[in-house]
Amino acid sequence: MRFSLAVIPLVLFAALAGIFLINIDKDSSVVPSVLIDKPAPDFSLPPLPGADKGLSRADLTKGKVSVLNVFASWCIPCRAEHPMIKRLSNEADVPIFGLNYKEKDPQDGVKWLEELGNPYQAVGMDLSGRTGIDFGVYGVPETFIIDGQGQIKYKHIGPVTSEVLEKVLLPKIAELKG
Give the C-alpha separation, 91 to 152, whole Å.
21
- Under rule CB under 8 A, residue 107 binds other proteins: no
Sole binder of other proteins in the list 84, 157, 160, 165 (CB under 8 A): 157
Q: Which is nearer to other proteins, 6 or 178 (CB)?
A: 6
- Counting Cα atoms < 13 Å in the Cβ hemisphere of 173 gives 23
Q: Which residues inside 120-149 make contact with other proteins, applying CB under 8 A?
A: 129, 138-141
- Under rule CB under 8 A, residue 58 binds other proteins: no
Sole binder of other proteins in the list 7, 36, 58, 174 (CB under 8 A): 7
Sole binder of other proteins in the list 40, 45, 48, 75 (CB under 8 A): 75
- 122 neighbors 53 (Cβ within 8 angstroms): yes
Q: Taking every pair of C-alpha atoms in the chain, what is the biggest distance, in angstroms? A: 80
- Under rule CB under 8 A, residue 28 binds other proteins: yes
Give the C-alpha separation, 177 to 146, whole Å.
11
Sole binder of other proteins in the list 79, 87, 153, 172 (CB under 8 A): 79
Give the C-alpha separation, 48 to 136, whole Å.
22
Q: Which is nearer to other proteins, 133 or 174 (CB)?
A: 133
Q: What is the CA radius of gyration of the chain?
A: 20
Give the C-alpha separation, 81 to 68, whole Å.
14
- Under rule CB under 8 A, residue 21 binds other proteins: yes
Give every CB contact of residue 4 below 8 A, 6+ residues apart in sequence.
none
Residues that bind other proteins (CB under 8 A): 2-3, 6-7, 9-10, 13-14, 16-17, 19-21, 23-24, 26, 28-29, 31-32, 73-79, 102, 104, 129, 138-141, 157-159
